[in-house]
Chains A and B, each alone.
Chain A
Amino acid sequence: MNRQWFISGALLAGGSVFAERVIDIRGKGQGKIGISLGSYRTGFDAASKTFLAVLKADLNRSGHFSVTSSGGALNVTGACQAGSQMKADVHVYQVATRKKLLGKSYDAAASSARGLAHKVADEIVYAVTGKKGMASGKIAVVGNRTGRKELYITDMDGKNMRQITKDRSIVVGPRWTPDGKSLTYTSYKRGYPNVYMTGKGKPISSHGGLNASGAVSPDGKTLAVILSVSGNPELWLKSLRTGKLTKRLSSTQRGNEASPCWSPDGNHLVFVSDSSGRPQIYIISKNGGRASRISSSGTESVAPDWGTNGYITYCSRVGGKYRIMVANPVAKTVRQLDADWADYEDPKWAPDGRHIVCSRTSNYRSSIYLLDTLKDSPVALISGSGDWYSPACSP
Chain B
Amino acid sequence: MYKMVLKLVVFSMVAGSLALVGGCKKSKPGADLYGSGDNLYGDPLMGDTPMNDDMMGVPADGDRSMFEPLFFAYDSSQVNPEEAGKCEDVAKHLKKNSGGGVIIEGHGDERGSREYNLALGERRALAVRDYLISLGVEPAAIQTKSLGEEMPENMGHDEGAWRLNRRAVFAIY
Which residues of A approach B to under 8 Å, CB–CB? 108-109, 112, 115-116, 118-119, 136, 138, 149, 153, 160, 162, 164-167, 170, 172-173, 179-182, 186, 188-193, 198-203, 206, 208-210, 212-213, 226, 228, 231-233, 256-259, 272, 274, 278-279, 300, 302-303, 315, 345-346, 364, 389-390, 394
Contacts and interface: CB of A to CB of B under 8 A. Distances in A.
B150 A209 contact: no
B166 interface: no
Interface of B: 32-36, 39-43, 46, 48-53, 55, 58, 60-61, 75, 77, 112-116, 118-120, 122-123, 126, 143-148, 150-151, 157
A180 B34 contact: yes
B98 to A, nearest CB: 20
SS class of chain A's interface: helix, strand, loop or mixed?
A: loop
* Interface pairs A-B: 10 shortest CB-CB: A191-B60, A181-B34, A256-B119, A112-B41, A201-B49, A302-B113, A181-B35, A210-B122, A233-B119, A180-B35
Contacts of A302: 112-113, 115-116
Contacts of A153: 46
Contact of A258 (B43, B49, B115, B147): B115
A173 B148 CA distance: 12
Given A181-B33, A201-B50, A257 B119 contact: yes
SS class of chain B's interface: helix, strand, loop or mixed?
A: loop
B49 A303 contact: no
Given A257-B119, A259-B115, A274 B49 contact: no
B40 A116 contact: yes
Contact of B48 (A165, A181, A256): A165
A212 B118 contact: yes
B113 to A, nearest CB: 4
A164 B46 contact: yes
A314 to B, nearest CB: 9
Nearest to A164: B46
Given A109-B41, A115-B41, A181-B32, 20 more contacts: A119-B40, A160-B43, A162-B43, A172-B118, A172-B148, A179-B34, A179-B35, A182-B33, A189-B51, A191-B58, A192-B55, A192-B58, A201-B49, A201-B53, A206-B55, A210-B118, A226-B115, A233-B122, A303-B116, A390-B114
